[in-house]
Structure 1
Amino acid sequence: MGQGLSCATSQENGLFSAVQVGDFETVEALLKRDANLLHHTTVYDRHSAIHIAAANGQIEILAMLLEKSMNPDVVNRHKQTPLMLAAMHGKISCVKKLIEAGANILMFDSLHGRTCLHYAAYYGHSDCLQAILSAAQSSPVAVSWGYVRFVNTRDARGATPLHLAARQRRPDCLHILLDNGALVCASTGGYGCPGSTPLHLAARGGSLDCIRKLLAWGADRLQRDASGRIPYVVALKHKHGACAALLNPSSAEPLVWPAPLKFISELNEEAKVLLEQALMEANREREKNILKGTAYSLPSPSHSDCGLDDSISEASDTEVCCICFEQICTIEVQDCGHQMCAQCTLALCCHNKPNPTTASLTPPVCPFCRSTIVRLVVAKIKNYDDTDQDIGDMSSSKVRKLRKSRNFCEGSSSFKSLSAVGSFSKMGGRGSGRIAAENEWIDKP
Structure 2
Amino acid sequence: MGQGLSCRASDEHGLFIAVQFGDMEAVEALLERDPALLQHTTVYDRHSALHIAAANGQIEILSMLLERSVNPDVLNRHKQTPLMLAAMHGKISCLQKLLEAGANILMFDSLHGRTCLHYAAYYGHSNCLQAILSAAHSSPVAASWGFARFVNVRDGKGATPLHLAARQRRPECVHILLDNGALVCASTGGYGFPGSTPLHLAARGGSLDCIRELLAWGADRLQRDSSGRIPYMVALKHKNGACAALLNPSSVEPIVWPSPLKFISELNQEAKALLEHALMEANREREKNILKGTAYSLASPSHSDAGVDDNVSEGSESELCCICFEQACTIEVQDCGHQMCAQCTLALCCHKKPNPTTACLTPPVCPFCRSTIARLVVAKIKSEDDADQDVGDVSSSKLRKIRRSRNFSNEGSSSFKSLSAVGSFGKIGGRGSGRIAAESEWVDKP
Q: 1:420 aligns with which of 418, 421, 437?
A: 418
1:143 Cα deviation from its structure 2 partner: 2.1
1:182 Cα deviation from its structure 2 partner: 0.6
Given that 2:178 and 2:184 are in contact with CA atoms closer than 8 Å, whether structure 1 keeps it comes out as: yes
1:415 Cα deviation from its structure 2 partner: 7.0
State the Cα deviation string for residues 288-330 of structure 1 (Å, max 9, x = none): 10011222223577xx233665013345525111112221111
Given that 1:263 and 1:361 are in contact with CA atoms closer than 8 Å, whether structure 2 keeps it comes out as: no
Q: Distance in 2 between matches of 1:345 and 1:321?
A: 10
> Compared with structure 1, are the counterparts of its residues 211 and 145 closer, same or farther at alpha carbon in structure 2 (3 Å cutoff)?
same
In structure 1, the residue corresponding to 2:147 is in which secondary structure? helix
Aligned residue pair count: 416
1:180 Cα deviation from its structure 2 partner: 0.6
In structure 1, the residue corresponding to 2:29 is in which secondary structure? helix
Structure 2 equivalent of residue 200 of structure 1: 200
State the Cα deviation string for residues 341-396 of structure 1 (Å, max 9, x = none): 11111111123533455685122221222222121000111111110111112234
Q: Distance in 2 between matches of 1:200 and 1:4?
A: 59
**Alignment of structure 1 residues 33-432 onto 2, 5 Å:** 33-189=33-189, 195-262=195-262, 264=264, 266-298=266-298, 304-306=302-304, 310-314=308-312, 316-317=315-316, 319-356=319-356, 361-402=361-402, 404-406=403-405, 414=412, 420-421=418-419
Letter in 2 for 1:99: L
State the Cα deviation string for residues 30-81 of structure 1 (Å, max 9, x = none): 0000000001000000000000000000000000000000000001000100
Instruction: Flag structure 1 segments of 5+ consecutive residues without an equivalent.
Output: 424-445
1:412 Cα deviation from its structure 2 partner: 11
Q: Distance in 2 between matches of 1:276 and 1:375?
A: 16
Given that 1:55 and 1:86 are in contact with CA atoms closer than 8 Å, whether structure 2 keeps it comes out as: yes
In structure 1, the residue corresponding to 2:389 is in which secondary structure? strand
1:96 Cα deviation from its structure 2 partner: 0.6
Given that 1:265 and 1:375 are in contact with CA atoms closer than 8 Å, whether structure 2 keeps it comes out as: no
> Compared with structure 1, are the counterparts of its residues 137 and 54 closer, same or farther at alpha carbon in structure 2 (3 Å cutoff)?
same
The TM-score normalised by the length of structure 1 is 0.88
Given that 2:327 and 2:399 are in contact with CA atoms closer than 8 Å, whether structure 1 keeps it comes out as: no
1:210 Cα deviation from its structure 2 partner: 0.4
Q: Distance in 2 between matches of 1:91 and 1:105?
A: 16
1:140 Cα deviation from its structure 2 partner: 1.3
Q: Distance in 2 between matches of 1:382 and 1:41?
A: 64
Q: Which moved more, 1:286-295 or 1:13-22?
A: 286-295
Given that 1:391 and 1:399 are in contact with CA atoms closer than 8 Å, whether structure 2 keeps it comes out as: no
Q: Distance in 2 between matches of 1:309 and 1:101?
A: 58
Among the aligned pairs, what percent are the same residue? 79
Instruction: Flag structure 2 segments of 5+ consecutive residues without an equivalent.
Output: 422-446
> Compared with structure 1, are the counterparts of its residues 415 and 20 closer, same or farther at alpha carbon in structure 2 (3 Å cutoff)?
farther
In structure 2, the residue corresponding to 1:364 is in which secondary structure? coil
Q: Distance in 1 between matches of 2:163 and 2:7?
A: 48
Given that 1:79 and 1:109 are in contact with CA atoms closer than 8 Å, whether structure 2 keeps it comes out as: yes
1:242 Cα deviation from its structure 2 partner: 0.4
In structure 2, the residue corresponding to 1:138 is in which secondary structure? coil
> Compared with structure 1, are the counterparts of its residues 260 and 343 closer, same or farther at alpha carbon in structure 2 (3 Å cutoff)?
farther
Given that 1:153 and 1:161 are in contact with CA atoms closer than 8 Å, whether structure 2 keeps it comes out as: yes
> Compared with structure 1, are the counterparts of its residues 99 and 356 closer, same or farther at alpha carbon in structure 2 (3 Å cutoff)?
closer
> Compared with structure 1, are the counterparts of its residues 275 and 121 closer, same or farther at alpha carbon in structure 2 (3 Å cutoff)?
same
Structure 1 equivalent of residue 434 of structure 2: none
The TM-score normalised by the length of structure 2 is 0.88
